[in-house]
Amino acid sequence: MSRYQKSPEAIARLSPEEFRVTQQSGTERPGTGKYLNNKAAGIYVDIVSGEPLFASSDKYESGCGWPSFTKPIEPANVNELRDVSHGMVRTEVRSASGDSHLGHVFPDGPRDRGGLRYCINSASLRFVHRDDMQAEGYGDYLDQVEDV
């Protein structure tokens, strides 16, 4: 069993916006997310379960208004589901253990880095700075995070 899981305590700690995004498949307004312009080295984890999702070294400026990543740090921690809401066909991205709505993935990312754009809501993430990764139990991912 995974050490990352959704719990009633974790859900109770969410702000109303974090709850709306992660538990009700909401979307934060473009350009408003706290991690949109974050350039620090570290990893982004699911705000509910703590499972590692994305590395700062895979984050890039896409201009879409949400933090964008080229790939998950641990592919098994990200589920991709068909989403036909809002009159569109898209691929929703959810955390595997926390089942949090994260955002969507699109095939318009940098070609030289795989061609994908994981467009992710800041409200579904918690950032763990590189300096804190070991102490918080994410030391296994240090080699995937570049110094800034």
Write out pLDDT tens, residues 73-92: 999 999 998 776 667 667 89
Question: How many residues comprise the chain?
Answer: 148
Q: Which positions are annotated as active-site residues?
A: 119
Task: For the domain made up of 8-143, give the CATH fold.
Answer: 2.170.150
Ranges of each domain in the chain: 8-143
User: Which pLDDT band holds residue 147 (cuts at 50, 70, 90)?
Assistant: low
CA atoms of 14 and 25, how far apart (whole Å): 14
User: Which pLDDT band holds residue 1 (cuts at 50, 70, 90)?
Assistant: very low
DSSP, collapsed to helix, strand or coil, labels residue 143 as helix
Mean pLDDT of the chain: 93
Q: Mean pLDDT across the stretch 35-45?
A: 97
Are the CB atoms for 58 and 42 separated by under 8 Å?
A: no
Lowest pLDDT segment from 1-5, 6-10, 27-31: 1-5
User: Which pLDDT band holds residue 68 (cuts at 50, 70, 90)?
Assistant: very high
DSSP, collapsed to helix, strand or coil, labels residue 42 as strand
Please give the structure tokens belonging to residue 99.
């089942």
pLDDT > 70 in the chain, percent: 94
Q: Which has the closest alpha carbon to 92: 62, 124, 65, 61?
A: 124
DSSP, collapsed to helix, strand or coil, labels residue 77 as helix
